């Protein structure tokens, strides 16, 4: 399998897939190069289609943006004709694909391949249509992953489980009206951690929220644009235009001490603080019945980031009831952090 991740987090991605494989009693080994932007997991045991899909489900992984089963690896592709050997490898499988994505790692070298991926993608799609290898109703999508221009991993991803975005990254545009670029973190969190139905039901106008560590208002802005009333808790100044919306109450207080007068629909938090302290704070809000759902960031340490992630999520799971829903992901707009969604059962 190939797993895409943030450059520099290959080790954490490798630890995560190894831990998951152990729970499936899947034997294999991991190959990961620092700053490559991807990890290989080579399994030596047969899992079957369902087991493989569950093991390689990026929706439930933290450090993997995308997770795909490799069906062929081609090296030394001729620059004058890459399509022919790829088609030959695909024909051997007697399979059709719903769509094709040609992509490269999210690294500086990968960015240099972006023009090639765009032009070659058009050529490959055209050739596959001519060879009748495209069927929009097929359950699998083909990913042609190029770590370099003469090497490709041909991968297959379930159209439901696998991320639908190239490189597993939703491309979001920074709204000029937002007071800070941190607004993109919450925008991406809503898109990646919630599905369409959940966004429709849980982000309704008139709902209430608390934003801890709100200033200048990047996360508050995402709530206000959805007509949600926000108590913005921070001793720092809030964006003036945001305050003019009439939906924001600026509370000058310590985010770790503040408690709302009555329960709110959402708690959001992007404070720069030790991850365990933030996880404990969120757990206290749920224990006191002060919020229905929460999205928050955990700033990871420089070392033992995977271990700290597990410790914080386990702490939260132990504090909530057994039916709690906890989802976590290192988003594209995150850096040395992960974003977590939590909801009590």
Catalytic residues: 299
3-state helix, strand and coil shares in percent for the chain, rounded to the nearest 5: 35, 25, 40
> How far is 237 from 215, CA to CA, in rounded Å?
6
Q: Which of 83, 106, 100, 259 shows the shortest CA–CA distance to 170? A: 106
CA atoms within 13 A on the CB side of 90: 28
- 261-265: long-range contacts at Cβ-Cβ below 8 A with a sequence spacing of 24 or more? 263/289, 263/290, 263/291, 263/292, 264/208, 264/209, 264/210, 264/231, 264/290, 264/291, 264/292, 265/202, 265/207, 265/208, 265/209, 265/228, 265/291, 265/292, 265/293
84 phi/psi in degrees, rounded to 5: -60, -50
């Amino acid at each position: 399998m190939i797993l895409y991740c943030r450059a520099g987090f290959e080790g954490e991605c490798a630890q995560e897939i190894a831990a998951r494989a152990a729970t499936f009693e899947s034997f294999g080994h991991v190959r990961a190069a620092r700053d490559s932007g991807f990890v290989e997991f080579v399994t030596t045991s047969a899992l079957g289609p369902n087991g493989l899909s569950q093991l390689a489900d990026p929706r439930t992984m933290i450090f993997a943006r995308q997770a795909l089963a490799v069906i062929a690896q081609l090296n030394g592709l001729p620059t004058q004709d890459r399509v022919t050997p790829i088609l030959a490898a695909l024909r051997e499988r007697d399979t059709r694909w719903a769509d094709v994505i040609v992509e490269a790692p999210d690294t500086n070298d990968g960015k240099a391949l972006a023009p090639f991926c765009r032009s070659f993608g058009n050529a490959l799609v055209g050739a596959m249509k001519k060879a009748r290898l495209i069927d929009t109703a097929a359950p699998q999508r083909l990913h042609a992953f190029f770590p370099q221009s003469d090497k490709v991993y041909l991968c297959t991803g379930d159209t439901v489980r696998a991320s639908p975005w190239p490189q597993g990254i939703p491309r979001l545009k920074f709204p000029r009206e937002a007071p800070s670029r941190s607004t993109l973190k919450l925008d991406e969190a809503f898109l990646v951690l919630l599905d369409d139905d959940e966004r429709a039901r849980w982000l309704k106008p008139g709902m209430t929220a608390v934003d801890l560590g709100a200033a200048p208002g990047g996360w508050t802005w995402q709530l206000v644009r959805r007509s949600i009333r926000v108590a913005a808790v921070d001793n720092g100044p809030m964006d003036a235009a945001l305050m003019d919306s009439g939906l924001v109450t600026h509370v000058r207080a310590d985010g770790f001490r503040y408690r709302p007068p009555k329960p709110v629909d959402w708690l959001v938090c992007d404070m720069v603080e030790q991850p365990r302290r933030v996880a404990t704070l969120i757990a206290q809000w749920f224990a006191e019945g002060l919020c229905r759902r929460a999205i928050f960031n955990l700033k990871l340490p420089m070392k033992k980031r995977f271990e700290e992630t597990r410790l914080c999520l386990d702490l939260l799971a132990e504090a909530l009831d057994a039916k709690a829903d906890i989802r976590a992901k290192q988003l594209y707009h995150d850096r040395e952090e992960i974003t977590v969604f939590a909801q009590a059962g």
